[in-house]
Amino acid sequence: MNFPNPLIPGFNPDPSVVKVGEDYYLATSTFEYLPGIPVYHSTDLVNWDRIGHVVDREGQLDSRDVPTLGGAWAPTIRFHDGLFYVAVTDAMARGTLVFTAEDPAGPWSDGLAIEGAIGIDQDLAWDEDGTAYMTYSGLDTVTGNIGEHGGILQVRVDLETGKALEVPRSVWSGTGLMFPEAPHLYRHGDYWYLMIAEGGTERGHSVSIARGTSPAGPFEGNPANPILSARSTERPIQNTGHGDLVQTPDGGWAMVLLGMRPKGMTRAFSALGRETFITPVTWEDGWPVVEPVILNPRLGGGEFEDNLRTPSSTAAGSPCGDSLARSPPPRRTPGASPWSATAPAWTIHGLPSWAAASGTRWRPSPRWWTPDRPRTWTLDGGRNAGGLAVRYDEAHHYSIELSGTTLTARARISSIEESWTRQVPAGPLELRIATRQPDSGAGFGHLSSDTIALQAVVDGELLTLAELDGRYLSAETAASFTGRVSGVFASRGTVTFDWFRGEGREPQ
């Protein structure tokens, strides 16, 4: 099959996929952002629509006080005996959870906490008699022992009571590379296969596999391990790993996985974060053989537009699109909305600064997958203050804010903060955040992933307050393994705005 790559672009890491009849369902990580754990649907493994979220209400995750990199880590989506399951880590909060639904579009259950299985990247598999096996990576994000790693662990679990039925046992943990994680257990032919990621989710990321005659092992490693890695290659897609196997519509096999597209002269910075990719798989001598992940972007660009006046505003051109008017507020607060609609505009009420630490409520856009195009919105600040921002985490974000007649661009990079101000005429103002790739060539000016401009349209002319290096909003610099998110915010009082628009295209 001629797969597009990326399959689901932008901030969509840790993909897991399941085939049910002729339908495919895929879920990815969302960390602190809510609604959480999107579920995508496809009938051909090529075209995907987001049909809902596993987490869409208060209490399913305990994310109010976690940092950006906490929350929903690495969901595994599976189907068994008429029911859909998502096993996931609520990192730094509830721990190991299992959600269930009869319809993958939702509603999903409140989430069953599993006692006796502390770790991350939980997988579920069932043997012939219906016994459920949970296999996971032994990294403790709950009790404070995050510096220790127990390898790949496994327990039989009771999915009615949420209890492990045995003491966790160590199973095959790879070839000896660091951070064995992302286990998935499959029955294929005469064997059970245990596939894991190892080497860390950075440039050394890889996929390895073992097999045995029982779901509990013992497992024999593939002599050809790792079966997939881009490390030390010139491939444009790096960090390939965290894979999940699935049968294709034509009877073949494929692996969905995460990868990154580093940019700049030294290919050192990944503005788009960890994305979902796909690659063909064949079976030889009882082992899967995985093809290198080939960059094959979809044609055209993507657009998101919401005039915020009707619930029918739609997103187009991107599988990550969504309407601001239809979604609950996604940052830690799936409950009461800070938004209200009074035609012909929307308002956001009395919220603290978007960049504050825990408890902040602001309204991000979808997880934008393409640089090189602006995000714009029109704002009437009055005596209040609000604006447009792009953030990676609490300590890495850029914003442009209107307060009365004062326009301020701000940048925070770890402990360093800077701002630029201009006076502008009173009244509504269009704000923009635009990104562009560096020009091709050599020299220090081409080292970064992109440039981010903080702008406003004043009296019909485009005013740029600051142009900032995009490398500081990337995983390689910020260290949080999430992705960029852009959105509107209110930092004082009630802010009214009319529309939000974003455009993008695949980077060159």
Q: In which region does residue 267 sit, left (phi positive, over 0), alpha (psi from -120 to 50) or beta (all else)?
A: left
Instruction: Enter the DSSP assignment of 437.
Output: P
Tokens of 53: 């979220």
Task: Please enumerate in sequence order all residues whose Cβ is within 8 A of that of 284, keeping only pairs 6 or more positions apart, or say none.
Answer: none
Just list the catalytic residues.
14, 181
470: three-class secondary structure by DSSP = helix
CA distances from 327 to 319, 350, 356, 487, 488 (A): 15, 19, 22, 13, 14
Residue with tokens 């890495």: 396
User: What whole-number distance in Å separates Cα of residue 283 and Cα of residue 288?
Assistant: 4
Q: Please give the angle made by the CA atoms of 318, 322 and 325, to the nearest 5 degrees.
A: 150
Q: Is 158 exposed, middle or buried (0-12, 13-18, 19+ CB in 10 A)?
A: middle
Contact present, 3 and 24 (Cβ < 8 Å): no
> In this structure, what are the phi and psi dihedrals at residue 106, rounded to the nearest 5 degrees?
105, 175
- Are the beta carbons of 469 and 449 closer than 8 angstroms? no
Cβ atoms of residues 318 and 304 within 8 Å: yes
Contact 15, 30 (CB under 8 A): no
How many Å apart are CA 83 and CA 171, to the nearest integer?
27
Contacts of the segment 161-165: beta carbons below 8 A, 24+ positions apart: 162/98, 162/112, 162/113, 162/114, 162/115, 163/114, 163/115, 163/116, 164/114, 164/115, 164/116, 164/117, 164/134
Which residue is listed with tokens 């919105």?
Answer: 377
Element (H, E) at 376: strand 375-380
